[in-house]
Structure 1
Amino acid sequence: MDTLVFFIGVIGNVISVLMFLSPGKTFVRIVTKKSTEEFECFPYICTLLNSSLWTYYGIIKPESYLVATVNGFGVVVEIVYVALFLIFAPPNKRVRTAVVVGILNVGFLAATLLATYFLLEIELRIDAIGLISSGLNILMYASPLSAMKTVVTTKSVEYMPFLLSFFFFLNGGVWTFYAILVDDWFLGVPNSIGFALGALQLLLYAIYRNTKKSDKSSPEFDTNQISHTQPLLPNC
C-alpha cells in the first residue's frame, strides 16, 4: 500500500507541476502584447494563497511531504505569474490587484499561520489548516463557473485554455484517488469537486472548440467578476 500511495503521489506531483506551468502560453501572450487583455489575476492570487497553506499543511502533517513539495513549487510559479500580471496590467487594475495581493497573500496568510501556530496544538493546527485550505480549494474549483458561463454565452473557448482544463481534470482525479488511499478528506473533497468540474469544462471544449474567437477588447478590472479563464489548483 505504501508503494502505491507513493506512486500515485508522484504522478499527482507531475500532473500538478504541468498544471502550474500550463498557463505559460497565456503569460507569453501577455508579455508579447504587453497587455493583460481580458485575463484576470484573482485565481492566481488565490492559488498562491492556497499553495502556501498546503505547503504548510504538508510540512506539519506527518508523511505529507508530497503535498508540501509540489505546492512549494507552486508558490514560486504563482509568484512569477502574479508579478508579470502586475507589470503588464493597466494602472487601475494594477493598483487594485496589488491591494488584493496585500490582503490575501500577506495579511490573511500571515494571520492564519500565526494564529494557528500560537493558539492551537499540533493536531488541531493540522486540522485547522486542512479545513481552511479545503474550503479555499472548493471556492477555487468553483471559480471557472464564470468563465464557463462566458464560453456558453459567447460560444468561444478563447479565454479558457484547453491545457489548463485538461490538467484541471487529471489533477482532480489523481489527488482524489491519493486522498482515498491515505484517508485524507481535506484533500479528497475539493479535488473530487475539481474532477467533476474539469470533466464539464472538457465537455464545453468539445462543443465550442471550433467556434469563432471572441474579438472583445480588454475590459477594466471588475471586482464583481474577479475571475479568469481558470484557476490553478494542484493537490489542494
Structure 2
Amino acid sequence: MVLDEYKDLVGAVASVTTILQFFSGVFVCLDIKKKGNSGSDSVLPFLGGCVIGALNLKYSFLLADSAMTVVSAVGVLINLGYLAFYYAYSNCKGEVNKAITQGVIFALSLLFYAQFWEDPELVEDRFGAILTVLMLLLLASPLLSLGEVIRTQSTASLPFPIILASTVVTFEWLLYGIIIDNIFIQIQNGVGLALCALQLSLFAIYPRTPVDKKKD
C-alpha cells in the first residue's frame, strides 16, 4: 500500500495527539470545580475512558502494537485521575459507586473472556468486534444529552473539549487503521468520526448558554 511507509509516522502522531486529547478532560474538571459540584455532567466519559482504555490495552497486546499499548496505558491512568476528581465533587456518590462497580465487573469479565475463554485463533477478531461496539457507544454517549440540549436550546451539557479532541483523534486513528489494514480500527474510528461530527454540529446550532439564563 502507498501509505505503508508512513505507518510509523502516522502511528506516532496519532499516539501523541491521543495522549494530548486525554487532557481535554481537564477543562471539564475545571468547569466542575468552578460550579462546586458535578451538576449535570455525567461520570460516563471518565468511567468509560477507564474501561475502554483497559480493554484497548488488552487488544494492543493481542495485536502486538506498541503505539496502541502506550496510548492505552496512559489513557487508563489519566482517566483514573479524572474519575477520582469527579467522585470528590459528585452530587450522589452512591450512584457513582454503583456505576464504578458495574464498570469494573464488566471490564474484568471481558478481560477474563479474552484471556482464558476465547479460542486464541479467534480472539483477536472477536474481541476487536466487541471493542468496536463499546468504542462507538462511548463516542456516542454525549448524545444521551440530546433531549436536554433541545429542551434548553443549549449545548451546556455537552463536553465540547472532549468532543473536539475526539474528532481529531478518530480521524488520525482511522488513517492508521487504513494503513495497517485493520477493519475493526477502521470501523471504530470511521463511525466514531461521523458521531463526533454530528455532535460538533450541535454547537453550531445551539449556544452554550441556556435560553432562560440569557433572558435573565
How does the TM-score come out when normalised to structure 1?
A: 0.81
The CA deviation at 1:150 is 2.8
The alpha-carbon deviation at position 115 of structure 1 amounts to 2.7
Question: What SS is found at the alignment partner of 1:24?
Answer: helix
- CA 98–207 in structure 1, closer or farther in 2 if over 3 Å, else same: same
Distance 2:131 2:212 in 1: 35
Hey, what does 1:70 align to over in structure 2?
A: 71
Is the CA contact (8 Å cut-off) linking 2:170 and 2:192 kept in structure 1? yes
RMSD: 2.0
Q: In structure 2, what is the Cα distance between the partners aligned to 1:12 and 1:121?
A: 31
Whether the 8 Å CA contact 2:25–2:162 is kept in 1: the answer is: yes
| 3-state SS, counterpart of residue 122 of structure 1 | coil
CA deviation digits over 1:8-66, x for unaligned, max 9? 1122112212221112122123234431111110232122111100011112213x111
Tell me how far 1:213 sits from its aligned partner. 6.3
1:165 Cα deviation from its structure 2 partner: 2.1
Deviation at 1:210, TM superposition (A): 6.8
Q: Which has the higher contact order (CA 8 A, sep 6+)?
A: 1
Structure 1: which 5+ residue stretches go unaligned? 216-236
- How far has the Cα of 1:81 moved from its partner? 1.1
1:203-222 equivalent positions in 2, closer than 5 A? 203-209=201-207, 212=210
Task: From 176, 188, 195, give the equivalent of 2:186.
Answer: 188
Given candidates 28, 31, 35, the residue that maps to 1:29 is 31
Q: What is aligned with 2:98?
A: 99
Structure 2, unpaired ranges of 5+: none
Query: Take 2:54 and 2:8, find their aligned partners in 1: how far apart are those partners?
Result: 22
**Does the 8 A contact of 1:49 with 1:109 survive in 2?**
yes
Distance 1:210 1:124 in 2: 46
C-alpha separation in 1, matches of 2:136 and 2:149: 21
Rounded Cα–Cα distance in structure 2 between residues aligned with 1:27 and 1:210 = 17
Aligned partner of 1:9 in structure 2 is 11
